[in-house]
Amino acid sequence: MGKYLELNASNFDSTIKDGVVLVDFWAPWCGPCRMIAPVIDELAEEYEGKAKICKVNTDEEQDIAIRYGIRSIPTILFFKDGELVDQMVGAASKQAFKEKLDSLLG
């Protein structure tokens, strides 16, 4: 069963440097973040072995959030081989996330 990766200061850079990576910047108190959490779980399962699905708790990892200028959550960043290639701010549909991932994998 696929599971998303929790990212922190010690594993962030090494995780995003290869392949396609979706990073969900969230916090436990954020309603829209909780709303898309099941979608993130499903994507982690569906894209296992194809793309990395990750989460960053902005309360615990403020340095990473500051580094990427995260001002509102949820913010979803898309990386390809370590490079930030796209982002989405706010809750979105599973289909919207899949389209972004598929375009990066294609």
Active site residues: 30, 33
Secondary structure in 3-state letters for 19-85: CEEEEEEECCCCHHHHHHHHHHHHHHHHCCCCCEEEEEECCCCHHHHHHCCCCCCCEEEEEECCEEE
CA dihedral 70, 39, 92, 17 (to 10 degrees): 40
Scan for tokens 């959490």, then name that residue: 37
